[in-house]
Structures are given as structure tokens and as C-alpha cells.
């Protein structure tokens, strides 16, 4: 089986700072994988390397059959990779529906249309003409997820989606992510909230010092065992 995403012994840098050290990881079609680890171990750098925001200086990254020689955001999008970034990054001067339309700019066709996103998040339809940054934190995260889905990805990268959200909103997101996965979209969930990890992911990879140091099936490990990978 060809992986949707394959990191093979990747070294990545921000300037002179060496962040990823021989990182190897893969996500297959339809998989739900959690990437866990303490703050500062390089989890978000994995995403940034795919997008060309960190410098790839060793190893290889493959998106399906395509090997990335110079990773760029638009290349990832063309190959079905969509990102819900840490901090949401809602465009301040655009309305909810305008933010959603940004996600459709790749032109990829599939299940996810604006109407389907509104079914998933009815509050976004109610506030379609509201500036995106006027929404609550939970609603902004819904918008960020909806915008990413509008690209009809084969793989959705979720970077700390529970950050700063109330437990009731996190519970709602867990249901949403299950629904998205049921449509056939693979998930790579970068997360420190182990309650969300055990509800969404089937497999986990734990990072430390810029590399994957442990992996396995989520159901084979208790939440306490998983949590030790994120404890300071």
C-alpha cells in the first residue's frame, strides 16, 4: 500500500536550528493517526516542513507517488493534504463564508461543499456573513476545520485542534472528526489532549527530540501510558 504521507529519515531546520532528526512516519489511506509528544519536540515542525515553512535538508517526504524536492503549501494542497493550523489562522477581514471559499481554491472536487460544511457546523451558516475573527474560539475552530474540508483532502492534518477550547467543544470536535474519517478522509491528529486522542485515533506515534520514539495501537495502551509521552 502506498502511503498518503511518508517521512523517511527527515532532517528539518529553522535557519541553523536543527529540529527534526531523522524522523520517520507514515499515514496510509483512511488511517487515523495521532502524533503526540511534549511541547517543543517538533510536532508542528513536521507540518511546517510539508508546507515549506521549515527547511528540508535530509531524508525524503512523499505524498502518495510524489517525492517533495521543494515542499510548498500549494503542492501539498494539490496532492490532497489539507491543514487545520495551530491557532486557527482565520483571515481577519473575511466573513465566515469567504473564509470557507478560500479552502475551495484548489478546485478539488468531492464530498465537501459549502452546503455539506454547513450541515456539519450549522452555526457557521447562521453566522455566514459575520467576520471570521468575531466568532468565539470554538466557532473559529469549526471554521478552520470547515475551510480545510472545502479542499476535499485525502489527508487532514490537525495541529493541536483542542488548544484553548472548553471540554464541551472538544467533545463536539471528536464527533466531527469521527464523521470526517467515516467519509474516507485520513487524519493525522497532532495533540496533547489524550482524551481526544483515544476517541479519534487508531494508531499513535510519540515524538521526542525531533524523532518518533514510540508507536503502536491506541486501544492497546491506557490513557495514562499515552499521557506519559506529553508530561513535562
53-76: pLDDT as tens digits: 999 999 999 999 999 888 898 889
From 104, 228, 229, 87, select the one nearest 160 (Cα to Cα).
Answer: 87
**β 203-208/211-217 pair status:** antiparallel
177 occurs within a structural domain: yes
Would the pLDDT of 148 be above 70? yes
101 occurs within a structural domain: yes
**Residues 96-108: what's their mean pLDDT?**
91
From 55, 110, 120, 40, select the one nearest 82 (Cα to Cα).
Answer: 110
**Residues 167-194: what's their mean pLDDT?**
95
Mean pLDDT of the chain: 93
17-39: pLDDT as tens digits: 999 999 999 999 999 999 999 99
Angle at 144 between CA 62 and CA 33, to 5 degrees: 40
Find the domain containing 199 and state its range. 5-227
187 occurs within a structural domain: yes
140 occurs within a structural domain: yes
Global confidence as pTM: 0.93
From 150, 151, 173, select the one nearest 160 (Cα to Cα).
Answer: 173
232 occurs within a structural domain: no
13 occurs within a structural domain: yes
Q: Which of 33-37, 123-127, 181-185, 224-228 shows the lowest mean pLDDT across its residues?
A: 224-228
How many CB atoms neighbour CB 89 within 10 A?
A: 14
- The per-residue pLDDT for 232 is 55
- Tell me the CB-side half-sphere exposure of residue 30, using CA atoms within 13 A: 4
Number of domains in the chain: 1
Angle at 166 between CA 209 and CA 129, to 5 degrees: 105
CA of residue 150 relative to chain centroid, distance: 14
In this structure, what C-alpha cell is assigned to residue 46? 513536521
Confidence of residue 1 (pLDDT cuts 50, 70, 90): low
- The per-residue pLDDT for 226 is 85
Alpha-carbon gap, residue 42 to 25, rounded angstroms: 13
Query: Do residues 95 and 132 lie in contact, with contact meaning Cβ atoms separated by under 8 Å?
Result: yes
CATH number, domain with residue 116: 3.40.50.300
Amino acid at each position: 500500500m502506498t502511503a498518503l504521507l511518508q517521512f523517511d529519515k527527515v532532517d528539518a531546520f529553522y535557519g541553523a536550528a536543527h529540529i527534526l532528526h531523522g524522523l520517520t512516519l507514515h499515514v496510509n489511506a483512511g488511517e487515523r493517526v495521532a502524533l503526540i509528544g511534549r511541547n517543543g519536540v517538533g510536532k508542528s515542525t513536521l507540518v511546517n516542513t510539508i508546507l515549506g515553512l521549515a527547511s528540508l535538508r535530509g531524508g525524503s517526504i512523499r505524498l502518495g507517488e510524489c517525492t517533495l524536492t521543494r515542499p510548498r503549501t500549494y503542492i501539498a494542497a494539490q496532492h490532497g493534504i489539507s491543514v487545520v493550523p495551530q491557532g486557527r489562522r482565520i483571515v481577519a477581514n473575511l466573513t465566515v463564508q469567504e473564509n470557507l471559499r478560500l479552502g475551495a481554491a484548489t478546485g478539488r472536487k468531492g464530498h465537501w461543499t459549502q452546503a455539506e460544511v454547513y450541515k456539519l457546523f450549522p452555526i457557521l451558516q447562521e453566522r455566514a456573513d459575520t467576520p471570521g475573527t468575531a466568532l468565539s474560539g470554538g466557532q473559529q475552530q469549526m471554521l478552520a476545520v470547515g475551510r480545510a474540508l472545502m479542499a476535499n483532502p485525502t489527508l487532514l492534518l490537525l495541529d493541536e485542534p483542542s488548544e484553548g477550547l472548553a471540554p464541551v467543544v472538544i467533545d463536539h470536535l471528536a464527533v466531527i472528526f469521527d464523521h470526517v474519517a467515516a467519509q474516507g478522509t485520513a487524519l493525522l491528529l497532532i495533540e496533547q489532549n489524550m482524551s481526544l486522542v483515544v476517541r479519534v485515533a487508531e494508531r499513535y506515534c510519540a515524538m521526542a527530540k525531533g524523532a518518533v520514539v514510540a508507536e503502536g495501537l491506541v486501544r492497546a495502551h491506557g490513557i495514562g501510558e499515552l499521557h506519559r509521552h506529553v508530561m513535562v
